[in-house]
Amino acid sequence: MFKNFYVDYQNKLRTADEAVRVVKSGDWVDYTSSLGKPVLLDKALAKRRDELEDVKVRGNLIDGPIEVVECDESQEHFVYHSWHCSAYERKLCDRGLCYHIPQVFHNNAAYYEYFLDVNVVMVSVSPMDKHGYFNFSVNTGVAAPIVRMADIVIVEVNEFMPKIHGGYDECIHISEVDYIVEGEHKPFSPRVPSAPSEVDRKIASNIIPYIVDGATLQLGIGSVPFALGELIAETDLKDLGMHTELCSDAYLSLYNSGKLTNRRKNIDKGKGVFGCAIGSAELYEWLDDNHGVAAYPLEYVNRPSVIAQIDNMVSINACVSVDLYGQVASESSGSRHLSGTGGQLDFLIGASASRGGKAFICMESIYKDKDGIAHSRIRPQFNGDIITSPRSQIYFLATEYGVINLEGRSTWERAELLISIAHPDFREHLIKEAEKRKIWRRSNKR
């Protein structure tokens, strides 16, 4: 008979109000990521506002509300930081209530191991199993490195967290936990992109011919990757694989159509690999207790040297805009912060080094401002935008007007290729801007 861990469980069980008493003024508190947000502990900590000063809180892709932020717009008591902004956190940035932490995901563990303080970590987990393990679930990508470095570990048990099998670091043992909090939770709200537009589908259809049988896919956040999942399901492609920092409903579509088998992967054969998951209730049900998937820390999933080991690795991510030099902005619009670097740069490097691999950045050729005026997403030159991916790391770019490859191309060749996939209404203007910058040859076709 093995040890009964429920005695330890009862000894460490606290109410949320009791558990947050460990937080002191000046502490760094970590909420980990997304659905790992500790809802009950966040509310309890917010109630201590007037007792605390300068408590710094870190999170990542967290939906609102975050109570410690909403209760203290003065930021005298709580100051919030995000590694990668959700739509809610983006609005907090607009209000001056959230500060972004620039990062590349594959270094996430190293940041905590070598550079950051974590006085208290609060993380949601699935219920403990008979062996004393709590599962990090859809939060496996970031949770373990934070927990390892924290002075105090508090887990919030959430019965709606799916139990997800992993490669490693998908669980924490009760012996590593200081306090356990239980309470009432609600099912997760679905987070599925809006239905793809006809332009999204056109961009996706332009990329599909570059995907071969047995390819492994990384699909980023957004409507184009979602459209790709739907369109690929209608093709005769087969034996596709999954290796991605974020698992979304696009992969569920591929699985349901029989396209996603992971059979031909060089590593993690037979397993769909991911770090975090955000999507529908059906997605979480699919991931729950599924031996065909494996959750890993992002230090593994996003490591370019790991990605490069997978033949025919295809990475598809979206951006906000690109300039005529090939620089890509994906996390800001001008000085307004939108999201974060995420896995884009990791997968650009890794997929391009894969045998048969391809790395795509995609975007609609135009956007419309609040007055309905159209603007080109291909711009002459950035001025104040945050560069997510440098021009030296950009390979395939796709719009609804086609796909280009900038590998090994000179400045004038890049300008010509980029203008060829710009919206026709803006091509003449872009040519004139290229001429001003001495990156347009007289022999270029107009």
Which stretch of DSSP H or E encloses residue 249?
A: helix 249-256
Phi-psi region of 332 (alpha: psi -120 to 50; beta: other; left: phi over 0): beta
Among 167, 400, 425, CA closest to 274: 167
pLDDT at res. 229: 85
pLDDT at res. 335: 86
Q: To which residue do tokens 């920092």 refer?
A: 245
Average per-residue pLDDT for the chain: 95
Residue 444 pLDDT class (50, 70, 90 cuts): low
Dihedral angle of Cα 363, 351, 246, 44, to the nearest 10 degrees = -100
Of all residues in the chain, the percent with pLDDT exceeding 90 is 90
Residue 225 pLDDT class (50, 70, 90 cuts): confident
Which of 74-78, 224-228, 238-242, 420-424 comes out lowest in average pLDDT? 224-228
Phi-psi region of 372 (alpha: psi -120 to 50; beta: other; left: phi over 0): left
Interatomic CA distance for residues 243 and 241, integer angstroms: 7
pLDDT at res. 443: 59
- Domain architecture of the chain: domains with CATH: 6-181 (3.40.1080.10), 198-436 (3.40.1080.20)
Among 28, 20, 26, CA closest to 115: 28
pLDDT digits (tens, 9 = 90+) for 87-114: 999 999 999 999 999 999 999 999 999 9
Among 9, 296, 14, CA closest to 133: 9
Cite the DSSP H helix spans in 65-105: 67-70, 87-94
HEC per residue, 186-215: CCCCCCCCCCCCHHHHHHHHHHHHHCCCCC
Q: To which residue do tokens 């005026």 refer?
A: 373
**pLDDT at residue 193 is higher than 80:** no
**pLDDT at residue 290 is higher than 60:** yes
Interatomic CA distance for residues 404 and 275, integer angstroms: 30
pLDDT digits (tens, 9 = 90+) for 124-159: 999 999 999 999 999 999 999 999 999 999 999 999
Cite the active site residues. 245
In terms of C-beta density within 10 A (0-12 exposed, 13-18 middle, 19 or more buried), how is residue 4 classed? exposed
Residue 123 pLDDT class (50, 70, 90 cuts): very high
Under DSSP, is residue 166 helix (H, G, I), strand (E, B) or coil? strand
Radius of gyration for the alpha carbons in the chain, expressed in angstroms and rounded: 23
Average pLDDT over residues 18-37: 97
Under DSSP, is residue 57 helix (H, G, I), strand (E, B) or coil? strand
Of all residues in the chain, the percent with pLDDT exceeding 70 is 99
Tokens of 418: 């980029």
Instruction: Supply the pTM of this predicted model.
Output: 0.95
Interatomic CA distance for residues 347 and 69, integer angstroms: 33
pLDDT at res. 223: 84
Report whether the peptide linkage leading into residue 190 is cis, meaning its omega lies within 30 degrees of zero: no
pLDDT at res. 404: 98
